[in-house]
């Protein structure tokens, strides 16, 4: 009998050894998913909702350059610090760094590694292994040179993913271990500014400045890998420097420790949803999709700011599913998004439509900030000025430039005057209904009857809303 128990135990151990162990949510993510075809995602390093998206750029100037990287490419130009994920328009690609003077640089996918918060590639043609990680506002690079006697780094401010206008730029060496600069571009948004401070783990032996757009940094015989930290801010050099201090000073140039901080942040987000069963491929697809849901929107406030502010709000794409998902996974983010939208209203008199960086793209139709606010309000997420929110929603209902004037005047949008008139009308009507729900809950149904018109009526009165807004002023 004892012998039978022993045999059963052996079989149990063998079975356990042969049973595949499910990967953790973090290890299930594959950042290369979406980088081919028309997925428009990037494989590089970022933290959840980070202001830095540090990733290789493999192409520019066509639709599949939206995220800077395409899996079909075999050369890269370097690594820039801002990228879009999943969009249908091109922008960003700010402040490119390349660990060699010549370019483009050949690479093979077999020599790449991508994980949440980490990317590496072995650039064998130039004898450099590049590794990337980030904090919220700082891109951290580690370059291991095979030939330490030939080490250089290029910082390129003229690089762009699209045919953007470079309005102004400057570069300045501030010490043997640091340069600073900024650039302003006009592309999808106008006058998009990025300020940066670059700190290095080894002294610059020689620097060549090409106008105000490129710096070539040379180093003498490095005994250890070169670690570079680039802090950015859309507001000022002082804020970029403060971001560097608050997010990396404690760890210095310890790349591995900074990388582990990013891993911890990603594990926290990815472990908020647990799934059972499924194949390894299905788990990878699920957790990669969840990973991508935490890549955007992006933080535009600085590390020292008391309140977090977001941009890269692709509202026409996200109001149906992503925004409601966040009401279940991260209500703090929902409150911060709404407060960010109300800040835009304070500055411009209208809720945002598709904001990017510190500007507005005016892309797509509808005015779906109101849907996001109404959804959060109905679910009890109200960490913002609710009265101001209703005022902003009502105001935005009549000044949206994609047909609101005709909708308000006639109750419909003439198709011979405005393209997408039917789609636009339906989305306006839905957004009006969203406003109505908040108005009814706040007891404003008598003073804002315009907002109570059901979307099935497809008509609103043009005489009521102006008087309501006048009262609020």
Query: Do both 430 and 353 map to the same domain?
Result: yes
Query: Do both 194 and 70 map to the same domain?
Result: yes
pLDDT (tens digit per residue) in 341-388? 999 999 999 999 999 999 999 999 999 999 999 999 999 999 999 999
CATH of the domain at 418: 1.20.1050.60
Query: Do both 29 and 115 map to the same domain?
Result: yes
Inter-residue contact 327 to 372 (CB < 8 Å)? no
Query: Do both 261 and 363 map to the same domain?
Result: no
Q: How far, CA to CA in Å, does 65 sit from each of 56, 291, 308, 314? A: 11, 21, 29, 18
For residue 464, what pLDDT is reported?
36
Cα diameter, the chain: 92
CATH of the domain at 227: 2.70.98.10
Structural domain ending residue among the three candidates 243, 269, 295:
269
The predicted model gives 256-263 an average pLDDT of 98
Phi, then psi, of 246 in degrees rounded to 5: -70, -30
Instruction: Identify which of 373, 408, 405, 375 has the alpha carbon closest to the alpha carbon of residue 388.
Output: 373
The verdict on residue 65 lying in a domain is yes
Instruction: Identify which of 100, 87, 95 has the alpha carbon closest to the alpha carbon of residue 57.
Output: 95
Inter-residue contact 253 to 226 (CB < 8 Å)? no
Give the total number of structural domains in the chain: 2
Instruction: Identify which of 77, 82, 57, 68 has the alpha carbon closest to the alpha carbon of residue 139.
Output: 82
Q: How confident is the model at residue 446 (pLDDT cuts 50, 70, 90)?
A: low
The verdict on residue 450 lying in a domain is yes
Q: How confident is the model at residue 12 (pLDDT cuts 50, 70, 90)?
A: very low
Query: Do both 260 and 369 map to the same domain?
Result: no
Query: Do both 65 and 169 map to the same domain?
Result: yes
Cα distance between residue 48 and residue 67, in whole Å = 17
β 96-98/151-156 pair status: antiparallel
Structural domain ending residue among the three candidates 269, 284, 317:
269
The verdict on residue 56 lying in a domain is yes
Query: Do both 265 and 315 map to the same domain?
Result: no
Inter-residue contact 91 to 356 (CB < 8 Å)? yes
The verdict on residue 324 lying in a domain is yes
Query: Do both 93 and 218 map to the same domain?
Result: yes
Cα distance between residue 62 and residue 84, in whole Å = 14
Residue in this structure with the two tokens 């000025």, named with its chain if needed: 385
The verdict on residue 298 lying in a domain is no
Inter-residue contact 107 to 58 (CB < 8 Å)? no
The verdict on residue 173 lying in a domain is yes
Q: How confident is the model at residue 37 (pLDDT cuts 50, 70, 90)?
A: very high
Cα distance between residue 447 and residue 471, in whole Å = 9
Can you read off the two tokens belonging to residue 229? 């930290």
| Sequence-ordered strand ranges (E) for 211-319 | 214-219, 226-233, 298-299, 310-311
Q: What's the whole-model pTM score?
A: 0.90
Cα distance between residue 94 and residue 357, in whole Å = 12
Cα distance between residue 34 and residue 279, in whole Å = 19
For residue 236, what pLDDT is reported?
98
pLDDT (tens digit per residue) in 193-243? 999 999 999 999 999 999 899 999 999 989 899 999 999 999 999 999 999
Can you read off the two tokens belonging to residue 335? 């409150």
Query: Do both 375 and 468 map to the same domain?
Result: yes
Inter-residue contact 195 to 235 (CB < 8 Å)? yes
Structural domain ending residue among the three candidates 211, 243, 269:
269
Instruction: Identify which of 215, 267, 253 has the alpha carbon closest to the alpha carbon of residue 133.
Output: 253
Query: Do both 347 and 260 map to the same domain?
Result: no
Which residues have C-beta within 8 Å of that of residue 161, sequence separation ≥ 6?
Answer: 57, 60, 61, 65, 66, 68, 80, 90, 91, 92, 93
Peptide bond into 104 cis (omega under 30): yes
Query: Do both 49 and 130 map to the same domain?
Result: yes
Domain that holds residue 462: 307-472
The verdict on residue 285 lying in a domain is no
For residue 186, what pLDDT is reported?
97
The verdict on residue 373 lying in a domain is yes
Q: Which of 174-183, 332-341, 369-378, 456-465 has the lowest mean pLDDT?
A: 456-465
Query: Do both 177 and 251 map to the same domain?
Result: yes
């Amino acid at each position: 009998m004892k012998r039978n128990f022993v045999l059963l135990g052996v079989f149990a151990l063998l079975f356990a050894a042969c049973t595949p162990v499910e990967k953790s949510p973090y290890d299930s993510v594959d950042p290369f998913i979406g980088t081919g075809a028309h997925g428009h995602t990037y494989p590089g390093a970022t933290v959840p909702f980070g202001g830095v998206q540090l990733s290789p750029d493999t192409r520019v100037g066509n639709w599949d350059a939206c995220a800077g990287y395409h899996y079909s490419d075999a050369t890269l130009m370097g690594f820039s610090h801002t990228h879009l994920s999943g969009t249908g328009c091109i922008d960003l690609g700010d402040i490119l760094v390349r660990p060699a003077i010549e370019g483009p640089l050949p690479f093979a996918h077999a020599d790449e590694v991508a994980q949440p918060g980490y990317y590496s590639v072995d650039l064998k043609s130039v004898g450099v292994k590049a590794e990337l990680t980030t904090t919220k506002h700082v891109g951290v690079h580690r370059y291991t040179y095979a030939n330490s006697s030939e080490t250089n780094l290029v910082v390129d401010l003229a690089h762009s993913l699209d045919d953007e206008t470079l309005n102004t730029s400057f570069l300045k060496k501030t010490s043997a271990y640091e340069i600073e600069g900024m650039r302003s571009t006009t592309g999808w948004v106008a006058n998009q500014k990025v300020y940066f401070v670059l700190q290095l783990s080894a002294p610059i032996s020689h620097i060549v400045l090409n106008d105000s757009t490129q710096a070539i940094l040379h180093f003498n015989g490095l005994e250890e890998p070169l670690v570079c930290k680039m802090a950015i801010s859309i507001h000022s050099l002082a804020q970029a420097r403060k971001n560097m201090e608050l997010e990396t000073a404690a760890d210095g140039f310890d790349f591995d420790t900074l990388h582990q901080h990013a891993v911890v942040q990603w594990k926290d987000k990815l472990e908020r949803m647990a799934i059972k069963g499924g194949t390894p491929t299905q788990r990878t697809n699920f957790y990669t999709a969840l990973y991508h849901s935490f890549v955007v929107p992006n933080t535009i406030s600085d590390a020292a700011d008391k309140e977090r502010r977001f941009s890269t709000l692709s509202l026409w794409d996200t109001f149906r599913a992503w925004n409601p998902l966040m009401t279940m996974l991260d209500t703090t983010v929902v409150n911060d998004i709404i407060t960010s939208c109300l800040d835009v209203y304070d500055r411009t008199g209208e809720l945002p439509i598709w904001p990017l960086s510190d500007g507005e793209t005016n892309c797509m139709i509808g005015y779906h900030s109101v849907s996001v606010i109404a959804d959060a309000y109905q679910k009890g997420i109200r960490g913002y000025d609710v009265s101001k929110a209703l005022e902003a929603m009502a105001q935005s209902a009549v000044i949206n430039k994609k047909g609101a004037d005709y909708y308000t005047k006639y109750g419909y949008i003439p198709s011979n005057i405005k393209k997408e008139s039917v789609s636009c009308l339906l989305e306006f009507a839905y957004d009006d209904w969203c406003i109505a729900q908040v108005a009814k809950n706040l007891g404003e149904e008598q003073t804002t009857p315009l907002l109570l018109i059901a979307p099935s009526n497809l008509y609103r009165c043009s005489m009521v809303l102006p008087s309501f807004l006048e009262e609020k002023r």
